[in-house]
Structure formats: structure tokens, C-alpha cells
Amino acid sequence: MDESSEWKVFYDSVHGHIALDPLLVKIIDTPQFQRLRNIKQLGGDYFVFPGASHNRFEHSIGVAHLAGKLVQNLRTDKSLDITDTDELCVKIAGLCHDLGHGPFSHVFEGFMKELNPKSNWKHEEMSVRMFDYLIEENGIGEVMRNEYKFKSKDFQFIKELIYGPNPPNSKNPEDSHSAQDPQESLQFLGCITQWAYKGRTREKSYLYQIVNNQTTGIDVDKMDYFSRDCHHLGIKCNFSHERYLVFARVCIDEELGAQICIRDKEAMNMYELFHIRSHLHHNFYHHRVTKAVENMIVNALIAADKKLAISAAVKDPSAYMKLTDFILQQILDSTDPELSTAREIVERLSKRDLYKFIDGKTCKPKDVKHLDSAEKWKAKLVAWVEHAKKEAGGQQTQFTAEDFIIMPVKINYGKNEDNPIGCLRFYKKDKTDKPIRLSKDEVSYLLPEKFAEIKVMVFYKGKDKLGVDLMKTHSEKLWEELQKAPKDQ
């Protein structure tokens, strides 16, 4: 037997031994996928937490593994008619869902947003394009069609699992065609909407809740990265994805249609999923030193963009696959005068001469609701700096508002200010086919009442200690100003 046609076993630090299909192994053994070895899962966190050295490569393999485990559990219900192709598509989507991440993962999205505040570019969009590029460049599309009998709708299905409805660059290895009448409707959260997917009909809507769940936010992507991030950060993850995989089943809900539901006794476990999410965001992903580092990375990339054509690479998958975390070393090693500004920032990073944290405050979303654009936040910052300089009197204050960064970070349970468990359906032991809602009181009286907050941080980019000390003494003035809504609102 051809060695490339055999299943292979990987040993993972989180899930132990993982056996993957030959087709998934072919995808892994491509330059486009191997690129993920050089992209840190947690971006700037590695500069703060030395254990956070894991990469998108192992996370992607973990998601493929969990996706396969969940589908295999659901397939015990023969009435669902989940096919081998369905299962393989879901596992491929789990494997390829992060192909589009740029240097330092989500930091690159911040870079793209900083360049163009109106941009809605997301890594999922690039993942779809990179998937197309991967299978075309390596002849895997032919293998999928000829050996695995994939049809056009199967390729479309994979991309929808990654991106959602109407993925970009929908050119398929075969001529695309609609899998069903686009006028089909779906009951979604109590509202009639059009069934927007083409890869599978609405009878298999639950398959879209495995890798990128846009209904409840509960998916194997989160389950892997919560477990993996906690493992590498050295903290305990109280959510058990193993129990979720065992107790998940498909029920038909009158409002939502075919849904992945969970046993009622697992409600507290599901709250733990969202609790660990907020804990990681508050204490690690948005740690103040992490954000100082990531702001410096973004500024270095912006300064180098014109010379290195970094942002332009998103238009060309062959150029994009060369973008990894190594770009900082590329900037540091360069002697090009056009990269001097970027190089200076990277040199500061290497010496731990980081942007200085001035102050931070956690706000209720309603208290800063009037600050609904980057321009409004910047206006508050400018007014605060001018106030501090005026108060400084004769002191030497050479800095301007451009020397400061104000960062409002939204932290929630995944559904803004709503309880995400409200979107989830449960079932009871004696009525396994009947989906039900659970009120908070039916779960516990010790559950959170609020599900969102805004963490605001202010940084100083300069090196002047006088500037840092001065602005710290006036930080309370900023918090007062932030909560003042315009009189016409």
C-alpha cells in the first residue's frame, strides 16, 4: 500500500494520540499548511507568557480531531443520514479553518483595520482563498474529485463551514451550482430567513454548528483553543469538551430547525465554556503588556507596509503564504533606510522597551455606548492630552495625542450583552428527541447577571518618563470625559 494512503497518528499535547485520514495528511503535508507552524496562536502573548509558544499548526490539527469526534458521535443516530463525505468535509474544514491567519494571528487583523478603519477583512475570508489555493497548487482537488468522489457542492460546503454563508472567491474545482432552491426558508431564532447555504440543505443545518457555530458560538474551534491555551498558559480549564462530545445530539426545534442540543445536566459545563472565554480574554488575550507588544507589532507592520507590500499580500495567496511571524526578524535584519522606523520599533521590542501603560478601566457597555467609532474615542483622547498639557503649565511637554493609544476592548460571553445559553437547546434523559430551553434559575442561582464589559487601556508610545508620570496624574479626568455623552444624545 502507498504510504501516503495510510492513516497517520499524531501525538498532541492536549488530546493525546490523534489518527487522521490520508486526505487530511495530504493537506497537512503542503507548504500552505506547514506555514502555520510559524504563526503564534496567541500573538503577542508569547512576549509575556513564555509557555504560550504554541502555533496555529497544532491547533488546526486539534480542531480537525474534535470535529471528527463530534460527527462520529452524531452519526450514531442513523436517522440523520450523515455520510462519509459529510464527515470528511467537516474534518477538512476544521483542519483548514485557520489557513488565512496572518503574522501573530489576530494581530494581523488589527493591522489591516488600522490601515483602513472601514475594512471588514477577516482571516476566515483568507482561509477560504488559501484553501482553494492549497488544493489547486498541490493537486489535492483532483484527488478529492477522483478518489473521494467530491462534487462541487462538497467543496462549497467546506468553505461555508469555515466562513459562513456566501464565502468569498467561490470559484470551485468544478463549476458551482446551487445545492437547493435559494428561496428555501429556515426558522432561525424565531424569524423567517432565507436558507443561505449551498453546500448542504437545511435538513443538515446542524453540521454548520460544528466548526464555526454562528448560532450559539459553541463549536470545536473554541473547545480546542480554550483547552490548548489554558494548557500552555499554565492555568486550569474547567470546561470539559469530552463531556460535550458525549452528550451532544441533534434535535428538531420548531424555531431553529435541526440543532445540536446538549443534555440538561451539562448546563453548568456550558456556562464554564463561556466563563473561561471571558477569563482568557480579560487576563491573557488582553493583558496590558500583551496589548503594548501587539500595538508595537502593528505599528512596525504599518511602517514597513509600503516597502514590503504586506497588506497587498492579502490579494495574492502565493504572496500571502510567505507572511509569517518571521517578518519581524526580516525587518530587524534589514539595512534598508525605508524600514528605519519599523526597525526602530522592532529593536525596542527586542530590548523590552515597550509602550508604557498609563492606566486602564473596565466600563459598562452602556456607559460608553455613545463612543461608537474610532474617531470619537480619538477625540476624547485628544481632549484629555490637551487638558493635561494645559495643567502642566511650565513643564516641558513635547508630546501630542499621536504619542498615545487608547484601546477599548469588548469582552463578553460571545453574544455581546446577551446570555449565549439562551440560544442553546437542551434535552432531558427521558425525552432525548425534544429540545427545551433552560432558564437561569433552572441551572443555578449563582450565575452571572451581566455578560459584557469594555476594558479600556491607554498607552504612551514615547520614552519620556515625564510624559508617563504627568498623564497618570490626570487619568481620572479621562475616565470622567469618556462617560460624558454629547448633550444631543
State the average pLDDT over residues 482-488: 78
Q: What's the confidence (pLDDT) of residue 169? A: 64
Percentage of the chain exceeding pLDDT 90? 84
pLDDT at 47: 98
pLDDT per residue as tens digits for the range 111-152: 999 999 888 899 999 999 999 999 999 999 999 999 999 999
Average per-residue pLDDT in the chain? Answer: 92
Total-model pTM:
0.93
467-481: per-residue pLDDT in tens? 888 899 999 999 998
Q: What is the pLDDT, as a whole number, of residue 184? A: 37
- Give the separation between CA 354 and CA 463, rounded to whole angstroms: 9
**Whose grid coordinates read 504612551?**
460
Q: What is the rounded average pLDDT of the residues 347-364?
A: 97
* Active-site amino acid positions: 123
Question: Could you read off the pLDDT of 267-287 as tens digits, one per residue?
Answer: 999 999 999 999 999 999 999
From residue 264, give the alpha-carbon distance in Å to each of 166, 172, 315: 34, 41, 46
Q: Is the pLDDT of residue 100 over 60?
A: yes
Residue 407 has a pLDDT of 97
* Buried residues in 164-185 as b, exposed as e (16+ CB within 10 A): eeebebeebbeeeeebeeeeee
Q: Using H for helix, E for strand and C for coil, what is the string for the chain?
A: CCHHHCCEEEEECCCEEEEECHHHHHHHCCHHHHHHHHCECCHHHHHCCCCCCCEHHHHHHHHHHHHHHHHHHHCCCHHHCCCHHHHHHHHHHHHHCCCCCECCEHHHHHHHHHHCCCCCCCHHHHHHHHHHHHHHHCCHHHHHHHCCCCCHHHHHHHHHHHHCCCCCCCCCCCCCCCCCCCCCEEEECCEEEECCCCCCCHHHHHHHHCCCCCCCCCCHHHHHHHHHHHHHHCCCCCCCHHHHHHHEEEEEECCCEEEEEEEHHHHHHHHHHHHHHHHHHHHHHCCHHHHHHHHHHHHHHHHHHHHHCCHHHHHCHHHHCCCCCCHHHHHHHCCCHHHHHHHHHHHHHHCCCCCEEEEEEEECHHHHCCCCCHHHHHHHHHHHHHHHHHHHCCCCCCCCHHHEEEEEEEEECCCCCCCHHHHCCEEECCEEEEEECCCHHHHCCCCCCCCEEEEEEEEECCCCHHHHHHHHHCHHHHHHHHCCCCCCC
| Residues 195-199, mean pLDDT to the nearest whole number | 95
Distance of alpha carbon 468 from alpha carbon 470, whole angstroms: 6
Q: Which residues make beta-bridge pairs with 185?
A: 194
Q: Which residues contact 158 (CB under 8 A, 6 or more apart)?
A: 89, 92, 93, 96, 131, 199
pLDDT tens-digit series, residues 291-334: 999 999 999 999 999 999 999 999 999 999 999 999 999 999 99
Mean of pLDDT values over 155-160? 98
**pLDDT score of 96:** 98
Write down the pLDDT at residue 390: 87
Q: What is the dihedral of CA 295, 299, 302, 303, to 10 degrees?
A: -170
CATH architecture of the domain formed by 356-416+451-489 = 2-Layer Sandwich (3.30)
Phi and psi at 350, nearest 5°, equal -65, -20
Give per-residue pLDDT as tens, 207-244.
999 999 998 999 999 999 999 999 999 999 999 999 99
Q: Give the pLDDT score at 193.
A: 57
Alpha carbons 281 and 287: distance in angstroms, whole number: 8
Residue 350 has pLDDT above 90, yes or no: yes
What pLDDT digit, counting tens, does each position of 395-444 carry? 667 888 999 999 999 999 999 999 999 999 999 999 999 999 999 999 99
> Can 3-288 and 356-416+451-489 be said to share one CATH topology?
no
CA distance 228 to 14: 6
pLDDT of 10-60, one tens digit each? 999 999 999 999 999 999 999 999 999 999 999 999 999 999 999 999 999
pLDDT value of residue 483: 87
User: What residues pair up with 8 in beta bridges, in sequence order?
Assistant: 20
Q: Confidence band (pLDDT; 50, 70, 90) for 464?
A: confident
| pLDDT for 188 beyond 80 | no
CATH architecture of 3-288: Orthogonal Bundle (1.10)
* Residue-range domain boundaries for the chain: 3-288, 356-416+451-489
**pLDDT, tens digit (0-9, with 9 covering 90-100), for 161-183:** 999 999 986 443 333 333 333 33
- Check if the beta carbon of residue 472 is closer than 8 Å to that of residue 360: no
- pLDDT at position 180: 36
